[in-house]
Amino acid sequence: MVNDRAMAQNTGLIEIEKLCKNFPQNEGDDIIVLDNVDLRFESGEFTSLIGPSGCGKSTLLRIIAGLTQADSGSLRLDGGAISVPGFERGLVFQDPTLFPWMNIYENIAYGLRSRGVYKEEKQNIPAYFKLVGLTGFEKSYPHHLSGGMAQRAALARTLVNKPKVLLLDEPLGALDAFTRMNMQDEILKIWQERGMTTVMVTHDVDEAIYMANRIVVMSARPAKIEEVITVALGRPRRRDDPEFLSLRSRILKILHFAGGGVELEYQL
């Protein structure tokens, strides 16, 4: 069964305290990227991180994934310290990063092979093709797929490992507007079925409001948390809802004072 919502309950709690990250320079002072960041992502919650370009959103996501080390502070998943990558945390990038020499089935199965559980779990792979709408494309190669389809494959490759936490680093940024909106709905459907803690970096204010339970608004570098906003809108959400538009205006105002300027996006 693909639906592991029951298994995911009471897991995937991320706690971040006084997290700092600097990047050293050959000359001059270090660049301070994250400055004493405190955050908590509840189990099963969908959170969007939004802020000016270069403020540290993706760096924070990579630290949660274990791909980048913080300089100080603490980071815990279900009470255990995070220091290295792990299959319980799945990361999807803006670029699908599929292996071009493997067909889509082999790409999706790659994680199972890496974990040494392919024989035991290969019978579940067709369910993931169905989950992301790629049934019939098992033998296709990445260059045969559209951008949206390739991103679906990348998502399935991550989900097949049944992560507690799904990390999305602007996964829809390279897609056209219509494909992007369709993929937003697909990701929401998967999140609702699986119940995973999900953290998504985006520059699109409407996308953040449409998808998230909470929106973390970050300042310009060195990044601090400007505000954490609970999105008290029902689902499915309407982008022309007056409350939706009011929340958009509020976030844009916060970003203006946080140094966001015109680098953020929103859909008319």
Mean pLDDT in each 10-residue stretch from start to end of the chain (268 residues)?
44 95 81 92 96 90 95 95 92 92 96 93 94 95 94 94 95 89 93 94 95 95 90 94 95 75 47
Parse the chain into domains and list their residue ranges: 1-88+168-183+194-268, 98-162
Tokens of 160: 């097949």
Q: What is the pLDDT of residues 200-236, one digit of tens each?
A: 999 999 999 999 999 999 998 888 899 999 999 999 9
Please tell me the distance from the alpha carbon of residue 181 to that of residue 219, in angstroms, as a whole number.
26
Classify domain 1-88+168-183+194-268 at the CATH superfamily level. Answer: P-loop containing nucleotide triphosphate hydrolases (3.40.50.300)
Name the nearest CA neighbour of 171 among 142, 151, 149.
151
- How confident is the model at residue 5, as a pLDDT? 46
- For position 192, what pLDDT does the model report? 93
pLDDT at 256: 79
Q: CA nearest 85: which of 69, 108, 74, 100?
A: 69
What pLDDT is stored for residue 268 in this prediction?
Answer: 37
Q: Name residue, tokens 């099963």.
A: 44
